[in-house]
Amino acid sequence: MTETLPRSAIEPKNPRLNVSRSANLPHVPGIRVGPYIFLSGMGPINPETGEREHGPIAEQIRTTLRNMQHMLESAGSSLGRVVRVHVVLADLADMPEMERVYREFFPIDPPARMAWSMELRFGNGCEIECVALAA
Amino acid sequence: MSARREVIVASPHARNAESSFARAVSTLVRGGDFLFVSGLAAVDPRSGERVRGTTASETRQILANLKQLLEAAGSSLDKVVKVNVLLHSMLEAPNMNEVYARFFPDPPPARTVCGARLPDDAKVVIECTALA
C-alpha cells in the first residue's frame, strides 16, 4: 500500500463565492487530493453580491466559468489545468449558446467533457463542475 | 506535487459526436495517473457520423469505440475505474445493461446510471475515468 495522499478543502479567495458555506450546504467548494482538484458543481453567482444571477444563459455560463476560474486560481491551479468538465443545463435548447461561451474559456486543448440537461435547483440555468490538476 | 496534463489524439478513433461536431471538447485527456474520456455518443468510427439506433445498439457502438479509444491511448477496458452512463429513459436501463455486461471484465468498474435529456437526440451517452 502506498502512502495516503494529503487531502484538503479549497476556499475561494472571494468569500462571496463560498456558496455552500453561505447557504449552509453540506459540501465544500472543492477538495484537493494529491495532484488532483475536484470542484463541486457551480452555478451563476455574482461575485460582487454572492447572489444568483438568472439572466440570459450566455451570461450564466460566463459567470459560472469565471467563478470556476477564480476557484481554481485560489487553489493555485488554472483553467488550463482542467482535465474533465461536466456541464448540466436546465434547458437542452441552450446547448449551442453554452458551446459558444464555453470555447472562449477553453480555446485550445480543451478538457474532456460530458454535457446534458436535467432539472436544476434554485432556478439555475446551468451547473458546471470539473476535475483539474494542481499547479 | 504536480501532474502532467496531456490531450491525447488517438486518430483515427478520436472522432466522437463531440469532436466531430467541432466542439470545444477533447475526447481523451490524461491527467496524472488517470485518463479522462469525454461523454461518447454512438458514432461510426470510420465516418465520424452519428449512428442512431436502439439503446442497445447505441450502447454497443459506444463501448466498441471506447475500447478502441482506450487501447489507442495505452489503456484498456479492464483499467476503467468509473463509468457514468446517461440514458434518455431509465426504462431502457435493462437494455443498456445487457450489452454493457458483455464488455467489462469481472469485477466491472464502479458506475452511475442516470436518466437525462441528451444532446443530438442520443439515446445513450457514456463517459469514463480509467487508469492511464
Domains of chain B from N-terminus onward: 5-131 (3.30.1330.40)
Cβ-count burial of B111 within 10 angstroms (0-12 exposed, 13-18 middle, 19+ buried)?
Answer: middle
Q: What percent of chain B clears pLDDT 90, i.e. is strictly above it? A: 82
d(CA A72, CA B107): 35
CB of B123 within 8 Å of a chain A CB? The answer is: no
| Closest Cα in chain B, distance from residue A108 (Å) | 8
Q: How far is A34 from chain B (nearest CA, A)?
A: 7
Would A123 be classed as within a structural domain?
yes
d(Cα B26, Cα B36) in Å, to the nearest integer? 9
Task: Compute the average pLDDT of residues B17-37.
Answer: 84
A119 in any annotated domain = yes
Q: Is B21 on the interface with A (CB under 8 A)?
A: no
| Max CA distance (Å), chain A | 50
B23/A99 touch (CB, cutoff 8 Å), yes or no: yes
∠ CA B132-B122-B111 to the nearest 5 degrees?
40
Bridge-based pairing of strands A30-33 and A126-133 is: unpaired
For residue B78, the model assigns a pLDDT of 97
In a domain, A53, yes or no: yes
Tell me which chain A residues have a C-beta less than 8 angstroms from the C-beta of B36: 83-84, 111-112, 131
Residue A103 lies in a domain: yes
Its domain, for residue A79, covers 7-133
Which amino acid, residue B119? P
Q: Which residues of A touch B18 (CB under 8 A)?
A: 113
Chain A: give the shortest CA distance to residue B53, in Å: 19
SS3 for chain A is CCCCCCEEEECCCCHHHCHHHHCCCCCCCEEEECCEEEECCECCECCCCCCECCCCHHHHHHHHHHHHHHHHHHCCCCHHHEEEEEEEECCHHHHHHHHHHHHHHCCCCCCEEEEEECCCHHHCCEEEEEEEECC
What rounded mean pLDDT belongs to chain B?
91
pLDDT of residue B15: 54
**Residue A2 lies inside a defined structural domain of this protein:** no
Q: What's B111's DSSP letter? A: E
Write down the pLDDT at residue B126. Answer: 97
Say which of A81, A95, A103 has its CB closest to residue B5: A81
**Which chain A residues have a beta carbon less than 8 Å from that of B9?**
none
| Separation CA A35–CA A135 (nearest Å) | 8
Q: Which residue has the cell 469514463?
A: B128
- At A16, give phi and psi (nearest 5°): -70, -15
User: Residue B18: its pLDDT value, please?
Assistant: 56
The model's pLDDT over B62-84, given as tens digits with 9 standing for 90+, comes to 999 999 999 999 999 999 999 99
CATH for A101:
3.30.1330.40
CB contact under 8 A, A99 and B18: no
pLDDT at position B20? 53
Sites in chain A below the pLDDT cut of 70: 1-2
pLDDT at B1: 61
Task: Determine the average pLDDT of the residues in B38-51.
Answer: 89
Which residues in chain A touch residue B84, judged by CB atoms under 8 angstroms apart?
Answer: 114
8 A C-beta contact, residue A85 and residue A111: yes
Nine cell digits for residue A67: 467563478
- Mean pLDDT across the stretch B46-65? 93
Confidence of residue B13 (pLDDT cuts 50, 70, 90): very low
Whole-number average pLDDT of chain A: 96
Q: With cut-offs at 50, 70 and 90, classify the pLDDT of residue B21.
A: low
Q: Is A112 in contact with B86 (Cβ distance < 8 A)?
A: no
B1 CB within 8 Å of a chain A CB: yes
Check residue B8 and give its pLDDT: 92
Q: Total domain count for chain A? A: 1
Residue A16 inside a domain? The answer is yes
- Residue A29 resides in a domain: yes
Using an 8 Å Cβ cutoff, are B116 and A117 in contact?
yes
pTM for the complete prediction? 0.95
* DSSP letters for B34-70: EEEEEEE--B-TTT--B----HHHHHHHHHHHHHHHH
The answer to whether the CB atoms of A133 and B32 lie below 8 A apart is yes
Name the region of B67 (left: φ>0; alpha: ψ -120 to 50; beta: rest): alpha
For residue B46, what pLDDT is reported? Answer: 82
